Amino acid sequence: MGSETIGVHVDRVSKRYTHRVKGEVYAAREVHLDVAPGEFLTLLGPSGCGKTTTLRMIAGFEAPDEGRIRFGGQDVTGLPANQRGIGFVFQNYALFPHLPVAHNVAYGLEVRRVPAAEAASRVAEVLQLVGLAGYEHQFPAQLSGGEQQRVALARAIVIRPRVLLFDEPLSNLDAKLRVQMRTEIRALQRRLAITTVYVTHDQEEAMAVSDRIAVMNQGRVVQEGTAQDLYHRPANEFVATFVGRVNLLPARVVAVHDGGATVECLGTTLRVRAVPPGIRAGEAARLCLRPEAIDVVPIAEGALQATVASHAFLGEKIEYDLRCGEIALHAVRTNAGAGIVMPDGTTVGVRFAEDALALLPGASS
Amino acid sequence: MARPASDVNGPAALRRDPVVTATVVVLWLLLALFVVYPIATLLGRVLFEGGRFSFAGIATVLTDRHQLRAFWNSLLLGSLVGVGGTVLGFLFAFTAARARLPRWLLTAIGAAVLLPLVSPPFTTAIAMIFSFGPRGLVTYELLGLKGVTVYGLASTLSSEIFTYFPIAYLTLRPLLAAIDSNLEGMALSLGASRWRVFRTVTLPLCVPGLANAFLLLFAASLADFATPLILAGNQFPVLPTQAYLQITGMFDLRGGAALSLVLLVPALAVFLLQRYWVSRRFYVTVTGKGAGQTPFDSISPGMRVALLAACALVAAVILYFYALLLYASLVVALGANHTLTLQHYRVIFTEGQKVIFDTLIIAGIAMPLGGLYGIVLGYLVTRKTFAGRRTMEMVSMMNYALPGTIVGIAYLIAFNDPPIELAGTALIIIACYVFRYGPTGIRATVALLQQIDKSLEEASQGLGAGSGTTFRRVTLPLIMPAFFAGLGVVFIRSMTAISATIFLVSISWSLITVKILENMTELSLGPAAAFSVLVVVIVFIVIALIGRVLRAFRAPGAAQVTSMLGG
């Protein structure tokens, strides 16, 4: 479908507003993003981090106070939303309640004065694509949440937008449907190869759909990268704790060498491959230890000893709260079969998969 | 997500939108001319003497014992109507919401309650005289009493309660329906008796609604002009009638104006209380959607029968009043000669033909203008940002909130002389109706727009539509119900109102309601009854037509206007 595939460039964009109590607040601060043509970029962050504001500025619903926004080579900063050629999917879908499905989808085509015959065939085609053929005459209120979501998607892509924008599109759906819809959105985006910016606060959703993720906090982009980059090489504590779960342990850097560092942690020496720049030998640091990187084994096989404070059996996995001296460790083990659960109070051995370790600068707070 | 306060329709974007700017300017000019200017003129006339500020005009009223009595009488009557009407309204609302009535019975209650709201203001008053007057059906024919006087507090009070309790019903019913029945179920499951649940859960949740209903009824009674004019008599003077008599009887425009201004104080107090105090104390949000239906019987079977019986009794009285009115219009002289005749209708369609046409022309012109005014102003103040937006909304509500007597006298004073001389024209009456009843359409538009998420307009914009196309294709269809609701109210009130326009009629342009009043004072009760029946019939036809149009707009999921009466 798509016409020309272009990139989106958000160039040091800021947006301020006046808060009744706090005074002037930055909703977005020097946000810089380069979305490659056809790329799927997700803005991930907690509520209030500026991700929706950034998206709405890309859409043209809000104007930045500073910075420029470019679509391909074209500066669109001053262009209103209706001249940007975007497809926008709202959190609440924003379907026109007085129009049946076919007219909702055809709306953007009618505005563009696409000939009726062509519009009809494109509407039929796109409804087929999202699995809603036969729903043409239904009204939005007669549809389920998932169906409304598909109509919103169809309405956004039928106009062959240059850029597709999603604002937390799945947050009103139940968990199962959310997983299904995100797979469909991803597949559709691949197929149409439309440059896409997607906003969510759900890190799993972000990892499932994106080529690349930009994590935002307090108006700024704090790290950009693929899901694996963010997970395995977090740039700071915020990213480490926001993307996935993590044990942050106090550590001392013994030596820094090519492709890693040696650190002392929990009384043992560990080799860490993921080391951010600026780490120097002799300094305090923090070790990021993902719960699934902690292996819970019989005492003899462990590098360290720990006690099981509590555990939860969750079917496919078992979660442990361990005490290793003063330090609390959270561990997750895949269920490999019956009879492997360690009861509370047991002393167990633990060992770490060194590939899964990452280092953050600075002492733990 | 924290979103910045400004948006695409922000001030910067707006200044470049000439259509919006022009509309705002035109609206301000109209509001200045038809709302601000008359009230300012009235205030000036009363409070300034020879170019100097002076309280003499008001002082004259406040020191005159007769006028002072009228003031206290007005407050007394208002309070009693407030209490009585709220009780009756609550009875109906509670029965309708909790007694698990079959559908047809609910419809019947709705119709019985609607009747007084859409009738000319003195229909119950006339029926009271037919029933309890010197030759009344009940007092004279049935009980054989002679020399009874119907005039005074008792008859005025009961007539006003029957006329205005539907307002309380309409306020309380949605509130009761919106109370989550799980709250009552919870209290019951904790061991409370039904009576205790009612006393400790249901009633406390209704308190703000009850206060609101009381204030609305108080204001309605305070502003009521027609009922006391017919029923209060010399023994029980009230302010609006005194103001009217001062002007028409004694040709004392300034004195009448001063009297009406005294009325302003309690009216304003009630308005402010209602808007800024009661409205912030609601525990229950009325969304228009009913809460899930009662999973248990919140009232006992015996109580259900008692409630139904009470409602049926009230409904029977109302229906009796209207049946009596119809009967009176069809007999030679009620109480004296009960021979059936169409004589009275012949009279109103020959001698009264001009006044019927006048009224229909005025209502017909005011109707679309009022509807348009309502949606345009309502849309601008909710969806656009411009300097003085809040002020515009408040000013637009003024003529609606003020008692009709004040508005009428203000128009009379303002437009009687140059520079703007409108007295004797149809325009002055039309303007009065548009700016006094159009605000119902504004309220409906604002309420509808608040239900419509702004993302709908953004979605349209995102799909490539400009602001004009977005308004025409998305916003307008969604607020059409408000247009028709506003239209309906303006028409109904144009047919039935009297308090303001009695000061504005002339030989060239008169109104049915004024004619009914003339008939009453000339004791030609037959034609008065016939006129009243005619108005009720016309209003019901129009309501049915508008109801049909509204249903056509009720696309599934589209926001709805809950009540087209509005007040």
**Structure tokens that stand for B543 in this block:** 């309501």
**Structure tokens that stand for A47 in this block:** 């509520």
With b meaning 16 or more CB within 10 Å and e meaning fewer, what string describes B360-398? Answer: eebbebbbebbbbbbbbbbbbbbbbbbeeeeebbebbbb
Among A253, A250, A225, A259, smallest CA distance to A239 is for A225
Residue B463's φ and ψ, nearest 5 degrees, are -85, 0
Going through chain A in order, the beta strands assigned E by DSSP cover 8-19, 23-35, 40-44, 66-71, 74-75, 86-89, 163-167, 195-200, 212-217, 220-225, 247-257, 260-265, 268-272, 284-289, 294-297, 304-313, 317-324, 327-334, 347-352, 357-361
Q: How far apart are CA B301 and CA A258, in angstroms?
A: 86
Q: Which residues pair with A358 in a beta bridge?
A: A274, A288
Cβ distance of A17 and B6 shorter than 8 Å: yes
Of B464, B477, B557, the CB nearest to A159: B464
pLDDT at B2 over 60: no
Cβ distance of A87 and B478 shorter than 8 Å: no
Of A53, A95, A112, the CB nearest to B3: A53
Cβ distance of B2 and A17 shorter than 8 Å: yes
Q: Between B285 and B486, whose confidence is greater?
A: B486
- Give the CA count within 13 Å in the CB-facing half-sphere of B93: 27
With beta carbons less than 8 A apart as the criterion, state whether A216 and A224 touch.
no
Q: How far apart are CA A216 and CA A47, in angstroms?
A: 10
**Structure tokens that stand for A112 in this block:** 């563009």
Q: Between B360 and B246, whose confidence is greater?
A: B360
The pLDDT value given to residue A8:
95
Pairing mode of beta strands A195-200, A40-44 = parallel
Among A310, A302, A317, smallest CA distance to A348 is for A302
CA distance A5 to chain B (A): 18
CA dihedral sign of residues B506, B249, B262, B84? negative
pLDDT at B469 over 90: no
User: What average pLDDT does this structure show over A137-142?
Assistant: 89
User: What average pLDDT does this structure show over A295-312?
Assistant: 88
What residues contact A231, with CB distance under 8 A and at least 6 apart?
A207, A243, A244, A290
**Structure tokens that stand for A322 in this block:** 């361990």
- Give the CA count within 13 Å in the CB-facing half-sphere of A354: 14
The pLDDT value given to residue B14:
37
CA distance B476 to chain A (A): 11
Mean pLDDT of chain B: 80
With beta carbons less than 8 A apart as the criterion, state whether A235 and A228 touch.
no
* pLDDT tens digits for range A78-115: 888 888 889 999 988 888 888 899 999 999 998 888 99
Coil, strand or helix: which one is A228? helix
Residue B10 pLDDT level (bands cut at 50, 70, 90) = very low
For chain A, the maximum distance between any two Cα atoms, rounded to a whole number of angstroms, is: 76
Q: Which residues pair with A328 in a beta bridge?
A: A323
**Which of A89, A96, A112 has the highest number of chain B CBs within 10 A, making it the mutation to test binding with B?**
A96
Look at phi and psi of residue A337 and say left if phi exceeds 0, alpha if psi is from -120 to 50, else beta. Answer: left
The pLDDT value given to residue A364:
59
Cβ distance of B559 and A80 shorter than 8 Å: no
User: DSSP readout, B458-488?
Assistant: HHHHHTT--HHHHIIIIIHHHHHHHHHHHHH
**Which of A82, A155, A157 has the highest number of chain B CBs within 10 A, making it the mutation to test binding with B?**
A82
The pLDDT value given to residue A116:
92
* pLDDT tens digits for range A45-57: 999 899 999 999 9
* Residue type, position B191, single letter: G
Cβ distance of B461 and A61 shorter than 8 Å: yes
* pLDDT tens digits for range A179-207: 999 999 999 999 999 999 999 999 999 99
Cβ distance of A48 and B463 shorter than 8 Å: no
Cβ distance of B453 and A98 shorter than 8 Å: no
The interaxial angle of helices B239-248 and B203-223, nearest 10 deg, is: 10
Residue A68's φ and ψ, nearest 5 degrees, are -125, 155
With beta carbons less than 8 A apart as the criterion, state whether A62 and A15 touch.
yes
CA distance B1 to chain A (A): 4
Coil, strand or helix: which one is B412? helix
Cβ distance of A81 and B466 shorter than 8 Å: no
**Structure tokens that stand for B277 in this block:** 């105090």
The pLDDT value given to residue B294:
47
Q: How far apart are CA B510 and CA B533, in angstroms?
A: 18
* pLDDT tens digits for range A144-161: 988 999 999 999 999 999
pLDDT at B556 over 50: no
The pLDDT value given to residue A186:
93
C-alpha separations of B240 from B117, B249, B380 in Å: 20, 13, 35
Q: Which helix (H) or strand (E) holds B332?
A: strand B331-333
The pLDDT value given to residue B298:
66
Per DSSP, chain A holds a count of helices (H) and strands (E) of 8, 20
The pLDDT value given to residue A127:
94
Which residues of chain B are within 8 Å of residue A51 when distances are taken between CB atoms?
1
Coil, strand or helix: which one is A219? coil
CA distance B119 to chain A (A): 34
Q: How far apart are CA A361 and CA A282, in angstroms?
A: 12
* Residue type, position B394, single letter: M
The pLDDT value given to residue A9:
95
Which residues of chain A are within 8 Å of residue B4 when distances are taken between CB atoms?
15-17, 27, 53, 62
3-state SS, one letter per residue, for B199-239: HHHHHHHHHHHHHHHHHHHHHHHHHCCHHHHHHCCCCCCCH
The pLDDT value given to residue B17:
64
The pLDDT value given to residue A65:
93
With b meaning 16 or more CB within 10 Å and e meaning fewer, what string describes B103-136? Answer: eebeebbbebbbbbbbbbbbbbbbbbbbbbbeeb
User: What average pLDDT does this structure show over B129-154?
Assistant: 72
With beta carbons less than 8 A apart as the criterion, state whether B485 and B547 touch.
no
Cβ distance of A87 and B458 shorter than 8 Å: no
The pLDDT > 90 percentage for chain B reads 7
* pLDDT tens digits for range B21-41: 888 889 999 998 899 999 888
Of B458, B465, B559, the CB nearest to A111: B465
The pLDDT value given to residue A126:
93
Residue B554 pLDDT level (bands cut at 50, 70, 90) = low
What is the chain A residue with the closest CA to B480?
A98
Which residues of chain B are within 8 Å of residue A156 when distances are taken between CB atoms?
462-463
Among B126, B251, B120, B248, smallest CA distance to B505 is for B248
Pairing mode of beta strands B52-53, B48-49 = antiparallel
The interaxial angle of helices B65-98 and B153-178, nearest 10 deg, is: 40
Among the ranges given (A299-313, B113-127, B161-175), the one the predictor scored with the smallest mean pLDDT: B113-127
Q: How far apart are CA B147 and CA B133, in angstroms?
A: 9
Q: How far apart are CA A120 and CA A44, in angstroms?
A: 37
pLDDT at B116 over 90: no
pLDDT at A315 over 50: yes
Q: How far apart are CA B28 and CA B407, in angstroms?
A: 19
pLDDT at B4 over 80: no
Planar angle of CA B542, B545, B550, nearest 5 degrees: 120
* pLDDT tens digits for range B193-241: 777 878 777 888 888 888 888 888 898 888 888 888 888 777 888 888 8
pLDDT at B559 over 60: no
The pLDDT value given to residue B297:
62
Secondary structure letter of residue A343 according to DSSP: P
Q: How far apart are CA A43 and CA A34, in angstroms?
A: 12
pLDDT at B1 over 60: no
Of B4, B458, B557, the CB nearest to A53: B4
User: DSSP readout, B256-318?
Assistant: HHHHHHHHHHHHHHHHHIIIIIGGG--SS---SSPPPPPSS-SS-HHHHHHHHHHHHHHHHHH
Which residues of chain B are within 8 Å of residue A119 when distances are taken between CB atoms?
none
Residue B132 pLDDT level (bands cut at 50, 70, 90) = confident
Q: Between B64 and B121, whose confidence is greater?
A: B64
Length of chain B: 567
The pLDDT value given to residue B13:
43
Q: Which residues pair with A352 in a beta bridge?
A: A294
Q: How far apart are CA B59 and CA B69, in angstroms?
A: 14
Look at phi and psi of residue B64 and say left if phi exceeds 0, alpha if psi is from -120 to 50, else beta. Answer: beta
Among the ranges given (A206-215, B68-77, B78-87), the one the predictor scored with the smallest mean pLDDT: B68-77
CA distance B514 to chain A (A): 43
CA distance B134 to chain A (A): 58
The pLDDT value given to residue B413:
85
CA distance B278 to chain A (A): 26
* pLDDT tens digits for range A270-294: 888 888 777 888 888 888 989 988 8
With beta carbons less than 8 A apart as the criterion, state whether B362 and B432 touch.
no
User: DSSP readout, B498-528?
Assistant: -TTGGGT--SSS--HHHHHHHHHHTT-HHHH
Cβ distance of B461 and A108 shorter than 8 Å: no
Q: What is the ipTM of this complex?
A: 0.78
What is the chain B residue with the closest CA to A108?
B463
* Separation of CA B479 from chain center: 22
Of B5, B464, B473, the CB nearest to A112: B464
The pLDDT value given to residue A1:
40
* Interchain contact B2–A (C-beta under 8 A): yes
What residues contact B533, with CB distance under 8 A and at least 6 apart?
B325, B326, B329
The pLDDT value given to residue B284:
58
The pLDDT value given to residue B90:
92
Which residues of chain A are within 8 Å of residue B3 when distances are taken between CB atoms?
17, 27, 52-53, 56, 62
* Interchain contact B336–A (C-beta under 8 A): no
The pLDDT value given to residue B558:
44
pLDDT at B281 over 70: no
The pLDDT value given to residue B562:
43
Secondary structure letter of residue A141 according to DSSP: G
Which residues of chain A are within 8 Å of residue B478 when distances are taken between CB atoms?
97-98
Mean pLDDT of chain A: 89
Residue listed under structure tokens 């309420």: B447
The pLDDT value given to residue A99:
86
CA distance B448 to chain A (A): 13
pLDDT at B399 over 50: yes
